[in-house]
Amino acid sequence: MTRKLAGTVEARMKKHGGRRQEKTPGPSRNDFGARKARPARSARVGSENPAARGFRRPSPELAAIYGCHAVREALRNPRRQCLDLFATLAAAEKLGPDISARGVAVHEVDSEALAARLGPEAVHQGVLLEARPLPALDVTEIERKSGLVLALDQITDPHNVGAILRTAAAFAVDAVIVTERHAPEFSGVLAKTASGGLEHVPLVEVVNLARALDRLGDAGYQRVGLDSEGPASLEKTALSAPVALVLGAEGKGLRRLTREKCDTLARLDMPGAIKSLNVSNACAVALALTRARLAP
């Protein structure tokens, strides 16, 4: 298998005009220009122990980012500290320019190794990036560009939060505020679902959402809570930038104190037979309406 991979790499180097370096003592370098860690002697193909293949053990200080789009955007993000990249040969070729530009260490693995590390349900697309979590950001450090902020009231499903981040990146949202205790990890499923949005929209973790909304109010934000029982539709609610849209979890909605901290509550009117939306879909509709209302 090693001989076959080496032959493929040499063919690719020849095709792109590259030149293989002579072997030198110490860590080898692969065709992407990054150091390639030597496997431990105990490592073997098909081993069920992820650590035997060079993977780091999961910890709060380690973000596991997988999927081509999510990994590509992480490699392009100068704020993201990248450690090691594990990829199949096909995935490494697909991400080749971004790998070379970042200079991250690359380890060639098979899909089975990635499944053993991430779990059989992970749609990894042949690539896993081990990185450090992004630097923490405070509410007062939100850079006002579009004048739009999202605040999530205990939305815990990583698929929903990931989809919201992807939508937030598409609508140039300045930041997404989440609570520390009731929010998913900022990696794994969330990063994959966000499809790169995690690298473009700052996430602000707060201990107390009510206090964070107070601080947004002090900074001049109009705090608009999305509530199915709101007195008026979002289309008919007077809006003025900057705006913080506040969304609650499906089923529970906004908590009482969160509702009290909002300047106004607004609903999304549905003309069709279905009168409710998934929270990530509701977020997309609300952002589209709000951006249209705030446009000069």
| Third-level CATH fold of 139-294 | Alpha/beta knot (3.40.1280)
Q: Please name the amino acid found at residue 30.
A: N
Which residues face 108 on adjacent strands? Answer: 87
CATH 3.40.1280.10: which residues of the chain?
Answer: 139-294
pTM exceeds 0.85: no
Place of tokens 């001049």: 220
CATH 3.30.1330.30: which residues of the chain?
Answer: 28-37+47-131
The C-alpha torsion from 44 through 56 and 31 to 11, rounded to 10°, is: 40
Q: Is 28-37+47-131 in CATH node 3.40.50.300?
A: no
Q: CA–CA distance from 177 to each of 7, 16, 150, 210 (Å)? A: 49, 45, 6, 11
For 173-221, the pLDDT digits (tens) are 999 999 988 778 888 899 999 989 999 999 999 999 999 999 999 999 9
Binned at pLDDT 50, 70 and 90, residue 53 comes out as low
